[in-house]
Amino acid sequence: MSDARPEPTAMASTTEPVPAPAGAPAPPPTVQVRVPPRSWRSEVRAVKIVWRRELIRFQKDRMRIVTSLVQPLLFLFVLGSGLQQLSAASTHGVDLKTFIYPGVLCISVMFTAMFSAASIVWDREFGFLREMMVAPVRRSSIVVGKCLGGATVSSLQGLILLALAWAVHVPYSVGLMLGVFGLQLLLAFSVTAFGVMVAARITQMQSFMGVMQMIVTPMFFISGALFPSGDLPGWLAFLNRIDPITYAVAPMRTLVFDNLNLSAEASHTLNPPITWFGWEVPVALQIFMVFALGMVMLGIAIAEFNAGE
């Protein structure tokens, strides 16, 4: 049917006058560019630029920095000060704000990381995702860059809360700072990877935020960020142990409490070790679990983006 006649010489036959661009200046000298074949170096460059884009955007979006501080501060100061009246007796003299503080360090990065992952949904809606998807680099580089970017941005946000340690009677120390920052980075990376994995499937902003809230909020509440995970009722203890966030909150609390002079009693009530059928799960294993889960979700996210579009 389609009688395609290759007639490459036909080019010059139409010489309709083309309006020149306004005030057409002499064309500048041509700079020819050669795009090199794909190599690991080009992949590293791609990861780096996607990562940097997240930082630039974060820096330009001051509003987001402020708004995402509201929730953690509410938990810390309003809930913490409010419930203090009820709980003073059973916390062995420890301020409830101090107790909640490690949990709040976690929540702040979790919700910021969620927003970072949401930006992939925005990117799709505003078309920018397409620009990245047609680039001659692996999709995995783009997903990795995105996750690292989300993790970095969230941890920077977490630094603001870390600075508030004095307000909840936690003394500053280099070890504490580095440890908290490292844990936040890890948690933020895993949550971002989770978000990106969800974003590969859910392409509308409203549904995405809905799904994320529905999953992340319960995980946060169950994790023991706001209560000790020692003597919970059976059903809650079960949910608590299968909640991945538990294994980010517990090391965070141990880290913070190690910097305080607490009585053995207080320490045992407020920061009981996480147990599986009576077996104490080592802190290193807990941290490793958060990392491993993050990597698995990153893998799934990459596979989904490779298959899609």
Partner 1 sequence: MTAPAISVKRLRKSFGDFEAVKGVSFEVATSEVFGFLGPNGAGKTTTINMLCTLTKPTSGHAEVAGFDVVAACDDVRRHIGLVFQDQTLDGYLSAEQNLRLHAELYGVEKSVVKPRMEQVLRMVGLWERRDSQVLTFSGGMRRRLEIARGLMHSPRVLFLDEPTIGLDPQTRASIWGYIRQLQQSEGITIFMTTHYMDEAEFCGRIAIMDGGEIVALDTPGALKEAVGADRIRIETADDERAIAALGERFGLEATVSEGAVSFAVAEGEAFVPRLFAELDVPIKAVNLSRPTLDDVFMSHTGSTIRDAEESAAKNKNRAVMQVMAGRR
Of residues 28 and 233, the one with the C-beta less far from partner 1: 28
Distant-in-sequence, close-in-space partners of 68: CB < 8 Å, separation ≥ 6:
108, 111, 112, 115, 157
38 binds partner 1 (CB under 8 A): yes
Are 54 and 150 spatial neighbours (Cβ–Cβ below 8 Å)? yes
| Total chain residues near partner 1 (CB under 8 A) | 59
**Residue 36: exposure state from Cβ atoms within 10 A (0-12, 13-18, ≥19):** exposed
57 binds partner 1 (CB under 8 A): yes
Of residues 42 and 267, the one with the C-beta less far from partner 1: 42
233 binds partner 1 (CB under 8 A): no
Of residues 105 and 118, the one with the C-beta less far from partner 1: 118
Which of the ranges 23-31, 207-215, 224-232, 245-253 carries the binding residues for partner 1, by CB under 8 A? 23-31
DSSP E strands in 83-213: the ranges are none
Q: How far is CA 243 from the centre of its chain?
A: 17
Chosen residue from 130, 201, 207, 288 binding partner 1 by CB under 8 A: 130
Which of the ranges 124-132, 185-193, 212-220, 227-235 carries the binding residues for partner 1, by CB under 8 A? 124-132
Q: Which SS3 state, helix, strand or coil, does residue 279 take?
A: strand
Residues 199-218 that bind partner 1 (CB under 8 A): none
Q: How far apart are CA 302 and CA 308, in angstroms?
A: 10
Of residues 36 and 234, the one with the C-beta less far from partner 1: 36
Place of tokens 């989904």: 304
11 binds partner 1 (CB under 8 A): yes
DSSP 8-state class, residue 137: S
In whole angstroms, how close is the CB of 215 to partner 1 at the nearest point? 24
25 binds partner 1 (CB under 8 A): yes
Distant-in-sequence, close-in-space partners of 247: CB < 8 Å, separation ≥ 6:
274, 281, 286, 287, 289, 290
In whole angstroms, how close is the CB of 42 to partner 1 at the nearest point? 4
Chosen residue from 65, 90, 93, 126 binding partner 1 by CB under 8 A: 126
